[in-house]
Amino acid sequence: MSAELLPRDRRALRVELALLLAVTFGASGLRATLRLVEALTDPTPLNEQEALLNQSQSHLAWLDPAFQLITSGVLLAWGGLAAFLLLRHLPPQSAEHPPSRAGLRLRIRAKDWPHGAGLAALIGLPGLAFYALAVHLGASKVVVPSGLGEHWWTLPSLLLNAWANGVAEELIVVAWLATRLRQLGVRWPAIFAASALLRASYHLYQGVSAGLGNAVMGLVFIEYFRRTGRVWPLIIAHGLIDTVAFAGYALGGGGLVGVG
């Protein structure tokens, strides 16, 4: 891929990589790393601290769902921006080939659903056991999936955010990042490392184990993408994992799968 790029295209790709990561998961990773440092310096043991997901953003119950909708909308916009950049500029300036020839397939198919469900089970079930062990060993905070309370809008907000997470993370951290790095001539082992480390970084606020678990998830997802060029099964898997974690907690007060 890289042999086809003009010098200006290579520069454009590097700028695109820096800018999109700076406003999305790159910044989130830095922030989460600092949160982990803060947590580790706290005298309270890590497994006695809490990491609250889906926090309430307003003391007014009727206004909070609007804030939740904005949060999910931003995540969807992140994923949409990554998809737009790939489809419209592949590569920038001199796109001569359709996205499918670059190893990227964005159209959803019926069989993406069973593939996604299989990936969700592959990641989610061991992830739950790993999370429980990590809390026991003091390597993870106690993760609370929802702090939204009990309202009519709580479950819809959690479901929307679960799938918005999947769209944003898999389009950016897998499809967009892998495609752009391949276009720049980066070899697959380095892409595996970059994607896994990025995914691990923005989960570190939950604890060291969350970083490790998500790194493994990242390696599995990148390998699937390398083999198939398909991102929808990854989005579906991620959405299902978060749906079980978020909705399961809201409906039954259960635990959390320690990945995703």
| Per-residue model confidence as pLDDT tens for the chain (260 residues) | 445 778 888 899 999 999 999 999 999 999 999 999 999 999 999 999 999 999 999 999 999 999 999 999 999 999 999 999 998 776 554 434 444 444 567 789 999 999 999 999 999 999 999 999 999 999 999 999 999 989 999 999 999 999 999 999 999 999 999 999 999 999 999 999 999 999 999 999 999 999 999 999 999 999 999 999 999 999 999 999 999 999 988 887 554 444 55
Q: Residue 52: what pLDDT?
A: 94
Task: Give the Cα separation of 197 and 172 in Å (integer).
Answer: 13
Question: Does the global pTM surpass 0.85?
Answer: yes
Mean pLDDT for all residues in the chain: 90
113-159 pLDDT per residue, tens: 999 999 999 999 999 999 999 999 999 999 999 999 899 999 999 99
Nearest to 82 by CA among 176, 196, 222: 176
- CB-based contact 199:169 (threshold 8 Å): yes
Question: Which contiguous run of DSSP H or E holds residue 142?
Answer: strand 142-144
* b (16+ CB within 10 A) / e for 119-142: bbeebbebbbebbeebbeeebbbb
Q: Residue 90: what pLDDT?
A: 63
Nearest to 171 by CA among 5, 23, 25: 25
Task: Give the Cα separation of 31 and 251 in Å (integer).
Answer: 30
Task: Give the Cα separation of 57 and 71 in Å (integer).
Answer: 10
Using alpha carbons only, what angle is made at residue 221 by residues 72 and 84, rounded to the nearest 5 degrees?
50
Task: Give the Cα separation of 1 and 171 in Å (integer).
Answer: 20
